[in-house]
Chain A
Amino acid sequence: MSNTAWETLSNQAVAMAGLVYFIALLVHLAEWAALRQPAGELVAAGVGDGSGKGLETVASQPPRPASETGERIAFLGRLGFLLTIVACAVHFVALLGRGMAADPNRVPWGNMYEFTVSGTFVVTLLYVVLHKRFGLGWMGPIVVGFVLTVLMVAVIWLHDEVAPLTEALNSPWLVIHVVSAVIATGTFTLGGIASLMYLVRMRAERRAAAGERELSGWIARTPDLPALDRLAYRVHAFAFPVWTFAVLITGPIWAHEAWSRYWNWDPKEVWAFITWVVYAGYLHARATAGWKGRKAAQLALVGVATLWFNFIGINYFSTTSQHSYAVEQFIDAPPAAVQLPNLLLSEPGHDEFGS
């Protein structure tokens, strides 16, 4: 297959994946809508009993439908998940195509478009892989909706043709650094969704308690608060060391080789550091009385915000970043021009000719 063919395939696969995500989203939304039927029709659907028992309780008890509605809900849930798996596979083809289209072939992490397509792929992949173990069925619509939105942003605003890597990116550290950063990003995003649900459910529970009614609708299908908190913690606890590895070990090693300084407070580095510190704060918050639960969950959301801001936003905010992949560069930003005011005043030997 020619490079152009691979690139076309990749573009088509992204569109295709988007379409399948969209259908999956519709199916999940139909599932949610069905869940909103009068509560009486459903027997408390596999919700944790509030005793703080493991997530497994939730996972191993799929909604027990009392009627045909229940069956339909279960069917829609399974269909939505199946579609997500299909979309995930097509999504992978899109990435593969990007890598194969380049000359020479390379990892598909050369520019923002490719980072974003990879990051969203990891979100879906993790969701699919962890679906059974952690009982993530309730998360379906949120994950699919998120991935679809970000993919659309990528296609509309970030799309870029396949091109060879800039020289500074041409390093084995690219693979190690970016793989870990992208995995951590995907995982933090999932953790953020769990924390978000924690806050949403907390509010719903408080409202329900005030109105003296049971939780109903899809919110009743999410795990109970302790289980959500534990899920969020687990996911973050996995992502945090990976992020540490990406931004505090491989990043500096690579920066040292490419730019001579392992840490230069470049805006991208600053925000990676901020993200890291915020998540360290989250882990502390979970161990601090008065910060457990709600405040910790809020911190996790701040973490995701800084993470995605760094991923996409900072490139538009600051032009001085050596990480501004969007900009065409030679080795990095024209260093001689940048250093102009620094350049020392005439030194013998560098001064006038002939004099």
Chain B
Amino acid sequence: MTTRPSGDRPAKPDARERRPGELTAREFARWIWRQISSMRTALILLLVLALAAIPGSVIPQQGVDSLAVTRWKDQHPKLTPLYEHLDLFSVYSSPWFSAIYLLLTISLVGCIVPRLFVYLRALRAQPPAAPRHLTRLPVHASYRTDLSPDEVLDRARKVLGRRHRLRLATTGDDAVSAERGYLREAGNLVFHLSVLIVLAGFAVGGLWGYQGGVILVQGSTFSNNLTQYDDFKPGGLFTQQQMKDFRFSVDDFRVDWLKKGPRAGQARKFEADLSYKVGQSEAKDYTLKVNHPLNVDGTEVFLIGHGYAPVITVRDGKGDIVATGPTVFLPQDATFLSFGVVKAPAAKPGQIGLEGLFYPTFEMVDGDPVTVFGDDLFPTLSLLAYTGDLGLDDGRSQSVYVLDKSKATPVEGEDGKPFRLDLQVGDTVELPDGLGTVTFDRVDPWIRVQISQTPGKGVALVGVVLALIGLCMSLFLRPRRVWVRAVAVDAAGTGPDTDDADAGDTMDGTGGTRVEVAVLDRSGNGETDEILARLLAQLQEAPK
């Protein structure tokens, strides 16, 4: 440490001049480390973490609700670039949020690892010898007894020995030292280290996990490969080899609609009957329900939504079927009023596009078409037709839920207004201008499933459970030290601490033993008075 600035020794003339307070790189590093691993830093980082988490609960988040993000961006064109710059739409994966918890993690390691070694050393150490003046400790008591000092100390060893670690007796001891509650610090260490385990589990899930969603119409089959998903969010290190080889079909889907009561119209008991096959094995059945995901070999399938897929058949002007089958309509709100699109680019003489609404239980209320119930009791389609170029011929990919109308024209009726098709099941409507016909055959339900792999979730769970155990140990165990000193009082009354006011009561008797007891609570929260009282009672009890 020759480089340390020292006031008492003149700096060597050839040494670079150092201003007071200047540190070497090494000292600076040490100082930084001490700051980072200090309790105060931990505390401040915790509060900063809490603050930093707030924006993500107010601003819509890409990972939680991407539609809300899009809507928000449309409404705030000025703020959007700034917000994007600050990662405010993905707070929890942003560099600044990560920086905070990484710092906290470093701080935690810096704090806990040294404490771990201190603790291991303390585990092997004996309880410290009794201080000279027990009566100067905040919680103490003394009394006189006719037992001899040795008898008192023996008894103290027996009483304390049950739940304390005792300092090894050496000849000439006039006191017993006892300590308990070593596990509190162990709990504290376990808790903090478990936080790391949880973070690790969380990170593994984020890196190697994936979530994908797909809408499946009743009767259809899904096989687990990337091309079959509607949306797919892989973790950073995800590889396709992780995907398990399985497939399943949706054989049936049932919903129980509440017909009366305050929640009439609400649906319950969503059940989808699946049959699934892993690899080449036998097909098995599973009833997929909310809160009851299907676990296939570590990949889980969740039921998270449902809706209607009207089966619509379009015939072109020549009578050829140009589009048929169930069309997924997306619910717009809780009434299951749904929106959907049908495209028939191969139709002759002109392409046919249909776009419109599906009403599960249609009714005219005050002249407005509405759906009065989510169940498909009176399913009705109301569509507008388009013809011309649907934009499908140039090979660009297009969402199946959006009709590209930029080059298409609305089909008009004889009155010159856009031609609207209102269809109930079984109806067929003829399009004007000999374009063809549209038939509404039936309605099939669809379900939306989320399929995900979440590796590391077991690790995270073990981590939090360990953390909870450590936490309870740390919060509820009360480490303390107890000392009992017994000294024979000779006729002159020279016990220990005769300077102490408490010693007064030893003066009026001669002989016997003066016993002093002190309790030191090391957590700062114990009920020391109560403990002292109990201990005194045990010590003074007639020996059994």
Q: Is the CB–CB distance between A288 and B40 below 8 Å?
A: yes
A56 within 8 A of B: yes
Q: Is the CB–CB distance between B334 and A330 below 8 Å?
A: yes
A2 within 8 A of B: no
Please give, as numbers and ranges, the residues of chain B lying within 8 Å of A281 by CB-CB distance.
43, 46-47, 50
A244 within 8 A of B: yes
Please give, as numbers and ranges, the residues of chain A lying within 8 Å of B270 by CB-CB distance.
167, 331
> Which of B63, B269, B307, B525 contacts A264, CB < 8 Å?
B63
* Contact indicator per residue, chain B 329-353, by CB within 8 Å of chain A (1) or not (0): 0111110100000111110000000
Please give, as numbers and ranges, the residues of chain B lying within 8 Å of A233 by CB-CB distance.
525
> Which of B39, B202, B266 contacts A166, CB < 8 Å?
B266
B110 within 8 A of A: no
* Most chain A beta-carbon neighbours within 10 Å: one of B39, B265, B291, B328: B291
B170 within 8 A of A: no
List residues 279-306 of chain B with CB under 8 A from any CB of chain A: 290-293, 300, 302-306
Task: From B23-31, B125-133, B160-168, B465-473, give the one contacting chain A.
Answer: B465-473
Please give, as numbers and ranges, the residues of chain A lying within 8 Å of B291 by CB-CB distance.
167-168, 170-171, 173, 254, 257-258
B457 within 8 A of A: yes
Q: Is the CB–CB distance between B401 and A284 below 8 Å?
A: no
Known contacts A261-B211, A336-B330, A354-B323; is-contact A320 B50 (Cβ 8 Å) = no
Q: Is the CB–CB distance between A271 and B57 below 8 Å?
A: yes
Q: Is the CB–CB distance between A340 and B39 below 8 Å?
A: no
The docked-state distance in angstroms from the alpha carbon of A328 to that of B258 is: 13
Please give, as numbers and ranges, the residues of chain A lying within 8 Å of B300 by CB-CB distance.
260
List residues 34-74 of chain A with CB under 8 A from any CB of chain B: 52-57
Query: Could you tell me the distance in whole angstroms from the C-beta of A240 to the nearest C-beta in chain B?
Result: 7
Contacts across chains A and B counted by CB atoms under 8 Å: 264
The docked-state distance in angstroms from the alpha carbon of A113 to that of B50 is: 28
Task: From B12-20, B239-247, B446-454, B482-490, give the one contacting chain A.
Answer: B446-454
Please give, as numbers and ranges, the residues of chain A lying within 8 Å of B86 by CB-CB distance.
none
> Which of A262, A306, A328, A342 contacts B263, CB < 8 Å?
A328
Q: Is the CB–CB distance between A337 and B53 below 8 Å?
A: no
Query: Could you tell me the distance in whole angstroms from the C-beta of B42 to the nearest C-beta in chain A?
Result: 6
A75 within 8 A of B: no
* Contact indicator per residue, chain A 294-321, by CB within 8 Å of chain B (1) or not (0): 0000010000001000000010011110
B310 within 8 A of A: no
Q: Is the CB–CB distance between A334 and B47 below 8 Å?
A: no
The docked-state distance in angstroms from the alpha carbon of A261 to that of B65 is: 14
A210 within 8 A of B: no
Q: Is the CB–CB distance between A347 and B454 below 8 Å?
A: no
Please give, as numbers and ranges, the residues of chain B lying within 8 Å of A290 by CB-CB distance.
40
Please give, as numbers and ranges, the residues of chain B lying within 8 Å of A52 by CB-CB distance.
138
* Most chain A beta-carbon neighbours within 10 Å: one of B46, B60, B374, B461: B46
The residue on A at minimum CB distance from B90 is A265
A345 within 8 A of B: yes
The residue on A at minimum CB distance from B195 is A280
Known contacts A167-B290, A320-B68; is-contact A56 B57 (Cβ 8 Å) = no
Known contacts A265-B63, A328-B263; is-contact A253 B461 (Cβ 8 Å) = yes
Query: Could you tell me the distance in whole angstroms from the C-beta of B300 to the nearest C-beta in chain A?
Result: 7
Please give, as numbers and ranges, the residues of chain A lying within 8 Å of B40 by CB-CB distance.
288, 290-291
Q: Is the CB–CB distance between B325 and A346 below 8 Å?
A: no
The residue on A at minimum CB distance from B476 is A237
The docked-state distance in angstroms from the alpha carbon of A22 to that of B64 is: 43
Please give, as numbers and ranges, the residues of chain B lying within 8 Å of A338 by CB-CB distance.
65-68
* Most chain B beta-carbon neighbours within 10 Å: one of A261, A264, A328, A333: A261
Query: Could you tell me the distance in whole angstroms from the C-beta of B439 to the nearest C-beta in chain A?
Result: 13
Task: From B227-235, B377-385, B509-517, give the one contacting chain A.
Answer: B227-235
The docked-state distance in angstroms from the alpha carbon of A283 to that of B525 is: 12
Please give, as numbers and ranges, the residues of chain B lying within 8 Å of A266 by CB-CB distance.
64
Please give, as numbers and ranges, the residues of chain A lying within 8 Å of B448 by CB-CB distance.
335-336
Q: Is the CB–CB distance between B302 and A265 below 8 Å?
A: no
Q: Is the CB–CB distance between B50 and A344 below 8 Å?
A: no
List residues 100-136 of chain A with CB under 8 A from any CB of chain B: 103
Task: From A147-155, A156-164, A212-220, give the one contacting chain B.
Answer: A156-164
Q: Is the CB–CB distance between A256 and B343 below 8 Å?
A: no
B527 within 8 A of A: yes
A273 within 8 A of B: yes
Query: Could you tell me the distance in whole angstroms from the C-beta of B354 to the nearest C-beta in chain A?
Result: 12
> Which of A234, A237, A318, A349 contacts B228, CB < 8 Å?
A349
Q: Is the CB–CB distance between B334 and A332 below 8 Å?
A: no
* Contact indicator per residue, chain B 35-70, by CB within 8 Å of chain A (1) or not (0): 000011011001101100110111011011111101
The docked-state distance in angstroms from the alpha carbon of A338 to that of B305 is: 11
Please give, as numbers and ranges, the residues of chain A lying within 8 Å of B43 by CB-CB distance.
281, 284-285, 288, 291
Known contacts A162-B262, A339-B230, A345-B397; is-contact A245 B468 (Cβ 8 Å) = yes
Please give, as numbers and ranges, the residues of chain A lying within 8 Å of B527 by CB-CB distance.
54-56
B213 within 8 A of A: yes
The residue on A at minimum CB distance from B399 is A345
Q: Is the CB–CB distance between A241 and B471 below 8 Å?
A: yes
The docked-state distance in angstroms from the alpha carbon of A173 to that of B67 is: 29
Q: Is the CB–CB distance between A260 and B450 below 8 Å?
A: yes
Q: Is the CB–CB distance between A167 and B57 below 8 Å?
A: no
Q: Is the CB–CB distance between A56 and B67 below 8 Å?
A: no
Query: Could you tell me the distance in whole angstroms from the C-beta of B12 to the nearest C-beta in chain A?
Result: 39
The residue on A at minimum CB distance from B262 is A161
A30 within 8 A of B: no
B321 within 8 A of A: yes
> Which of B42, B58, B227, B266 contacts A347, CB < 8 Å?
B227
Q: Is the CB–CB distance between B39 and A351 below 8 Å?
A: no
- Contacts from A to B (Cβ < 8 Å): 52-57, 103, 160-164, 166-168, 170-171, 173, 230, 233-234, 237, 240-241, 244-245, 248-249, 252-254, 256-267, 270-271, 273-274, 277-278, 280-281, 283-285, 287-288, 290-291, 299, 306, 314, 317-320, 327-355
- Contacts from B to A (Cβ < 8 Å): 39-40, 42-43, 46-47, 49-50, 53-54, 56-58, 60-61, 63-68, 70, 91-92, 138, 202, 211, 213, 215, 227-232, 258, 261-263, 265-270, 290-293, 300, 302-307, 321-325, 327-328, 330-334, 336, 342-346, 374, 392, 397-401, 448, 450, 452, 454, 457, 460-461, 464-465, 467-468, 471-472, 475-476, 525, 527-530
7 shortest A-B CB distances, which residue pairs?
A161-B262, A335-B305, A345-B397, A260-B302, A267-B57, A163-B263, A270-B57
In addition to A164-B268, A291-B40, A341-B66, 9 A-B residue pairs with Cβ atoms within 8 Å of each other are: A234-B525, A249-B461, A252-B464, A254-B291, A274-B57, A277-B53, A338-B68, A340-B401, A354-B325
